[in-house]
Amino acid sequence: MARNKHPEETVSRIVDVASRLFLEKGYNQTSIQDIVDHLGGLSKGAIYHHFKSKEEIWIAVADRMTADSEQLFDHILARKDLNGLEKLKAIFRDSLFRSSQDNLFSIAPTTSNPQLLLSILQNAVTVTAPRYLLPILEEGIRDGSIHAEYPEELAQLILLDFNVWINPMVFPSSTEECRRKLIVLAQALRGLGLDIIDDTIIERLCALTASYYNRK
């Protein structure tokens, strides 16, 4: 059998097709065979050579959908007109209102797969928290807008709250239950001096949660 000389192109094709099918049919209604049928010539074995499961394909799709996050966050980090606390609030507000978030919630699976849940947890703690939140918390400590003794742990806590406790993929909840969780989280963060969750953010997250349950 000839070796695939262009694995990056193959991965890109798989993610392209999966993205379209997840949006058209929904994640749960899309099978690996559906993806194979739309790839035109690639076998199921070729897919499993690059992805161990459908959940791994979804992670790749989600990564592509949120690829603009880094540019957005770098832009906010570079702003000179905001202090650390204002940057922290801007990151949550601006990231939540990107159109990719609507697409992401509309295709997101439930995390019955422990491997997928572990991936979400590890990404929050080892990638997102140190890459995006920690520098802002440290800047806020320097400029006096944030008071935190352990910024690294605080960054992890914030991300785990949003990515796990609030996340309907992990803990299914009604829109009203989501709203109550967000109010409690807002109060808790406010007690730490982080007034970053306002009514606009709460309503946006509730709307995204509703879209998750109204998907195909």
What is the structure's pLDDT at 41? Answer: 80
What fold does the segment set 66-213 form as a domain?
Answer: Tetracycline Repressor; domain 2 (1.10.357)
The pTM of the full predicted model, rounded to 2 decimals, is 0.77
Model confidence band, residue 25 (pLDDT cutoffs 50, 70, 90)? confident
The per-residue pLDDT for range 151-179, each reduced to its tens digit, is 999 999 999 999 889 988 888 889 999 99
Give the residue range(s) of CATH 1.10.10.60 domains in the chain.
7-63
The CATH number, out of the four listed (1.10.10.60, 1.10.1740.10, 3.40.640.10, 3.40.50.2000), of the domain defined by the range 7-63: 1.10.10.60
User: What tokens appear for 167 in the block?
Assistant: 């996340």
* CB neighbour class for 41 (10 Å; exposed up to 12, middle 13-18, buried from 19): exposed
> What single string gives the DSSP state of each residue in the chain?
----S-HHHHHHHHHHHHHHHHHHH-STT--HHHHHHTTSS--HHHHHHH-SSHHHHHHHHHHHHTTTHHHHHHHHHH-SSS-HHHHHHHHHHHHHTSHHHHHHHHHPPP--SHHHHHHHHHHIIIIIIIIIIHHHHHHHHHHTS---S-HHHHHHHHHHIIIIIS-TTTS---HHHHHHHHHHHHHHHHHTT-----HHHHHHHHHHHHHHHS--
For the chain, percent of residues with pLDDT exceeding 90: 48
Give the residue range(s) of CATH 1.10.357 domains in the chain.
66-213
Q: Residue 23 above 60 pLDDT?
A: yes
The per-residue pLDDT for range 72-109, each reduced to its tens digit, is 888 999 999 999 999 999 999 998 998 788 877 877 77
Q: What is the mean pLDDT of residues 117-124?
A: 77
**How much is the mean pLDDT over the chain?**
87
